Amino acid sequence: MNYQLLFPQIFLFLWAILIFVLDFFWKKGKQNLGYLALIGIIMTIFLVLDSPEGKLFGGMFLADSLSSFFNLIFLLTGFLTIASSIDFTKRLSAHQGEYFALLLLSMVGMMFLASAGELVTLYVALELTTISLYVLAAYLKNQSKSSEAGLKYLILGGVSSGILLYGISLIFGLTGTTFLKDIKMALITTFLTYREIGPALVLSIVFFIAGFGFKLALVPFHMWVPDVYEGAPTPITAFLSVASKAAGLVAFIRVFFESFLVFQVDWVLLVAVLAALAMIVGNIIALLQTNIKRMLAYSSIAQIGYILLGIVAATSRGLASVSFYIFVYLFANMGAFITAIAFSNTTGSDQIKDYAGLSRRSPALAAMMAVFMLSLVGIPPLAGFTGKYYLFSAAIEQGWIWLVVIAVLTSVISLYYYVGVVRQMYFRTSPAENRIAMPAPLTLALIISVIGVLIFGVYPNIFINFANQAALVFHF
Amino acid sequence: MLPYSWIIPLFPLISFVAIVFFTNRKPKLSSLVSIGAICLSFLFSLIVLGMVLKNPVTSEFKFTWIDLLGLKVQMGMLIDPLAAVMLLVVSTVSMLVHIYSVGYMEGDPRFSRFFSFLSLFSFSMLGLVIANNFFEIFIFWELVGLTSYLLIGFWFEKKVAADAGKKAFITTRTGDLGFIIGILILTTAAGTFNFTEIFHQVEAGHVSAGLLTLSAIFLFGGAVGKSAQFPLHVWLPDAMEGPTPVSALIHAATMVAAGVYLVARTITIYLAAPDAALVVASIGCFTAFLAASIGLVQNDIKRVLAYSTISQLGYMIMVLGLGGMTAGIFHLYTHAFFKALLFLGAGSVIHAIHTNDIWEMGGLYPKMKTTAITFIIASLSISGIFPLSGFWSKDEILAVASHYPNPIFLIVGILVAGMTSFYMFRLCFVTFFGKPRDQHKFEHAHESPKVMTIPLMILAFLAVFAGWVGIPWLKHGFSSFVYHHHPHHVEPDFLLMLISTIVALSGIYLAYAMYYKKSISPEKLKEKFAFPYKVLYNKYYFDELYHAIIVNPLLRLCDRLFVKFDLGVIDWLVNAVGNFTVFLSDIKEWFDSHIVDGMVNGTAYVTRGVGSGLRKVQTGQVQTYAFVIFFGLVLIILFKLG
């Protein structure tokens, strides 16, 4: 047994515990716990980069290029989240340490999820991830909106968990195993012998889609998103919108590309329809939003629709484009949220109309926000363009013309509301003059995001190779 | 060092970023950063030229920039003698203009911005020179166009300046449309953007002759715009509204030469498409004559120089079309120095007396000796007087033209040489000699500060000696360094030298007689040739013509479009979309409040009836959400199983 494969997860877990413990003894300067968490994440990143490939416990735990790729996404997102939270948590009266530790625990869950080669492991990892997030969503407990967000998230999360479990048990009933590799073999043999298992299999596939769809916020499992995103502390919203989605995505990829790939005909069209729904509904409702967090919430629903294009393609190129785009999305979306955090820390407002005149008040912040917005639309030479081009061409290659047409048309819709923010910042004036406060860790997070967006746009090649590596895990 | 040549354009880019983000508020520091950067570029250009001189081979360095499905773009550098010479020319002139600008722009409220633009321009121009493929050259091509626009309209409070910037941008863009069509045709035919690969295919005959001719003519469209050739020459005289150092750097020495450079870079294509080459030569020849004739009668010192630039560029384009790549680039090289010098000299005069009109100048020689002497040296050089730079390069152009079967090119070439020396010395005599015409301005005239005159002196040195590298008696001169395929040795043609010198001298003499000795009265000539004078003075009415047939109809069309289409169709569409969205949200609201709530309430009744423990956490909304999840689920299952 090569336990070295588990080192990153174990290390991050112990680090989280360390922060829990230190929280008891550290009476003053609790934001140092945040810096400590950042250090832990950086060390884990090195561990991930250094970790060998292989499997443990007979294939329950897989360490391969896909898991390392997504681990990096989780860790980076976590890093940016914590860096942008340090200033924000200062204002919490108590429980600052737990905030960071819970975030780390959630990341541990996600890392296990990315490596899950077996359904029970996958489920437990998913729960570890989400339970920490339930708490974090309700973290501002004296604000009713935050409590409401946590509660809603918990209830609906529970519902979706139940659905997922139902799917898992159906599969177990059909195949007698929970290992993804064996499920595929068992399904092929059973399916060839007894024709009548069709409906049960379809049901379980649908339940899987619904279960993961909740994490991904696919229409119609997206109802919780706007309320939770609005109510939760903004850094947590940022984390939810990127890391939690990436986690759902990697679980989806593991299960569907490992076990269900041979039954493509049964689910690809369904996913395509859900992608189209997500793009249409997300973009159209985002048009009407006046609150930046709600706008980003709906736009993130639409973004997942674009990402699903690569899944629908169901080729290694499609998968590579998904991996690449999630990275691109990470930087742009985190950047947008971090800007919103900085803005509301100073002004106390999340209204888009209050962004008027930001280019005069804080030119650098406004410029960066403009970069994030334009990247989310997909304007060259920013990362969003490269990512979308890659996704769309992967889908076109497999003949999904109608889906790509919808994607392009809805991208045009998204231009309106993303650029609306830019218009507020640059072409509207406001009486407010004071600069937006930019604490050092938050500035660092913003700069990392902006550099990510620019580099992925201007010189995407190295990262595309990286994403291609991650896609080689499956044999299409 | 060669693999690191990309560092040359990098310095000005860094300086641009540094000025924009950091030193914007400190003008002095900004200028120092900018000058430091361009000096480094100059030094490295020297080193590169030295290495290429020692070992004159073509070296290419490239890497894949983007490799997406069906879209593969490489970036890289092509360092050959041509690029090396261009690097040096651009960085030298740019460096001197940077230094000169410190004096010229002193006290300008946007001093830092000016230097950041200069840096951006240097970056783009140096990048253009070392580009190794059409994609890359197009990016830099547009970037220099952008900086040109920014700098022409630098004093944008003046409406003429802002308009001139727009005119330049739009006119050159018209040519660029041809350029990009040419690129698309060529790369589709050859399957790559890369210069060397395309040239190999062209030489091997893999590209059909028709496509080649077509793409060559379209590519030339870019050069016509950028190098201000007929019929897109109208923007360059107006571009003189920009600060004079900008005119010297961008609109005399470097950017306008980009079109010449483009043709030289792709000379393989033109050699393989003789019809296109003939078009190039004819346009160049016609432009050279046209611009020189307009230059004869203009009164604005910078505009005379602008027409002179157009005419000289026409010369270069013509000789490139005749296949004389060496001669064209040699003239580009010498022209860069003496034309930059002329502009900077003119700038020095303008700086002293605050007018562009030569008839308000006069007798400035004793007051501005350095400026006057260097200006006259440059005029001698451009007129092609032995043994200055201009003599050698002009001679080589005429030599190439004389080998062409059709004598028209040679005849026009000699004629233009005579006109050039006439209008240049008309400027010299009117500006620096005779009696001061505007006493008030004359009294305030003064020599410019050292920071401006030293660049003038350096350029004067270059205007005299730079051309000596191409003296025909040299065994390994310019022609055995920059060439296409086979180094050649130019045979001195004494008869031609003699003729061109006589023509140039007679041009000077005519100017002397008319404007210094006054033995021939310009006024009488004006009256005698009233009609040609009027036509020339009004620049053949090109601006009026373009206004009548392009600009005004377009404006009218836009007006009509705005009224009919914008107000009618677009607004209607916008309103319709708005109404539709409102309608949709109404439906959604109605659906929410009637159907969804109804169902929710229904379920709630049921749930309550069953007496579920869930009641404690029932907020209508969560239930709605859960309901939607299940409703969706059921729909999906029906969809899958049904």
Quick check: A287 contacting B, CB < 8 Å?
A: yes
- Chain B CB contacts of A461 under 8 Å are 64-67
B629–A227 CB contact, under 8 Å: no
d(CA B30, CA B114): 9
Give the residue from A319, A461, A462 with the most B CB atoms within 10 Å of its CB, the best one to mutate.
A461
Q: Nearest 10 degrees: CA dihedral of A328, A331, A337, A338?
A: -170
Give the B-side interface with A, CB within 8 Å: 64-71, 581, 584-585, 617, 619, 621-622, 624-626, 628-629, 631-633, 635-637, 639-641
- Chain B CB contacts of A199 under 8 Å are 641
Is there a domain that residue A51 lies in?
A: no
| First and final C-alpha spacing in chain A | 29
Nearest CA-CA partner of B306 in B252, B261, B255: B252
- Chain A CB contacts of B69 under 8 Å are 317, 390, 393-394, 397
Quick check: A278 contacting B, CB < 8 Å?
A: no
A393–B68 CB contact, under 8 Å: yes
The 8-class DSSP code of residue A200 comes to H
Q: What confidence tens digit (pLDDT) does each residue in A45-69 have?
A: 998 888 888 888 888 888 888 899 9
d(CA A360, CA A369): 13
- Chain B CB contacts of A227 under 8 Å are 621
d(CA B86, CA B79): 10
Q: In chain A, which residue's Cα lies nearest the Cα of B70?
A: A393
**How many CB pairs below 8 A link A and B?**
80
Average pLDDT over every residue of A397-405: 89
Residue A187, CB half-sphere, CA atoms under 13 Å: how many?
Answer: 24
Is there a domain that residue A188 lies in?
A: no
Helix (H, G, I), strand (E, B) or coil at B522: helix
Portion 3-42 of A in contact with B at CB < 8 A: none
Structural domain count of chain A: 1
Is there a domain that residue A368 lies in?
A: yes
- Chain A CB contacts of B71 under 8 Å are 389
Q: By CB neighbour count within 10 A (0-12 exposed, 13-18 middle, 19+ buried), where does A186 fall?
A: middle
Residue whose tokens read 């590309």: A257
Neighbouring residues of A247: CB distance < 8 A, sequence distance ≥ 6? A70, A74, A109, A110, A113, A114, A126, A129, A215
Tell me the residue range of the domain where A304 lies. 264-476
Position A125 pLDDT exceeds 80? yes
B581–A284 CB contact, under 8 Å: yes
Position A386 pLDDT exceeds 70? yes
- Chain A CB contacts of B631 under 8 Å are 220
Position A463 pLDDT exceeds 90? no
Q: What confidence tens digit (pLDDT) does each residue in A284-332 have?
A: 888 878 889 888 988 999 999 999 999 998 888 889 899 999 989 999 9
pTM above 0.80, yes or no: no
Low-confidence ranges of chain B (pLDDT < 70): 1, 68-71, 489-490, 561-571, 588, 591-621, 642
Give the residue from B62, B65, B69 with the most A CB atoms within 10 Å of its CB, the best one to mutate.
B69
Is there a domain that residue A401 lies in?
A: yes
B581–A287 CB contact, under 8 Å: yes
Is there a domain that residue A459 lies in?
A: yes
B629–A288 CB contact, under 8 Å: no
- Between B70, B629, B636, which is nearest A393 by CB? B70
Q: What pLDDT was estimated at residue B611?
A: 38
Nearest CA-CA partner of B166 in B149, B154, B151: B149
Q: In chain B, which residue's Cα lies nearest the Cα of A364?
A: B21
B637–A221 CB contact, under 8 Å: no
Say if the ipTM goes beyond 0.85: no
Q: What pLDDT was estimated at residue B635?
A: 84
E-assigned strands of A298-347?
Answer: none
Helix (H, G, I), strand (E, B) or coil at B475: coil
| First and final C-alpha spacing in chain B | 71
* Mean pLDDT for all residues in chain A: 87
Is there a domain that residue A192 lies in?
A: no
Q: How many CB atoms lie within 10 A of CB A452?
A: 22
Is there a domain that residue A283 lies in?
A: yes
Q: By CB neighbour count within 10 A (0-12 exposed, 13-18 middle, 19+ buried), where does A185 fall?
A: middle
Contact B522, B514 (CB under 8 A): yes
Quick check: A386 contacting B, CB < 8 Å?
A: yes
Question: How far off is chain A from B144, nearest CA to CA, in Å?
Answer: 18
Residues in chain B: 642
Q: What confidence tens digit (pLDDT) does each residue in A141-165 have?
A: 788 888 888 888 998 899 899 999 9
Q: What pLDDT was estimated at residue B610?
A: 43
Nearest CA-CA partner of A33 in A43, A19, A45: A19
- Between A210, A284, A287, which is nearest B633 by CB? A210
Quick check: A161 contacting B, CB < 8 Å?
A: no
SS3 content of chain B, % helix, strand, coil (to 5): 80, 5, 20
What is the largest distance, in Å, between two alpha-carbon atoms of chain A? 74
Is there a domain that residue A257 lies in?
A: no
Q: What pLDDT was estimated at residue A275?
A: 93
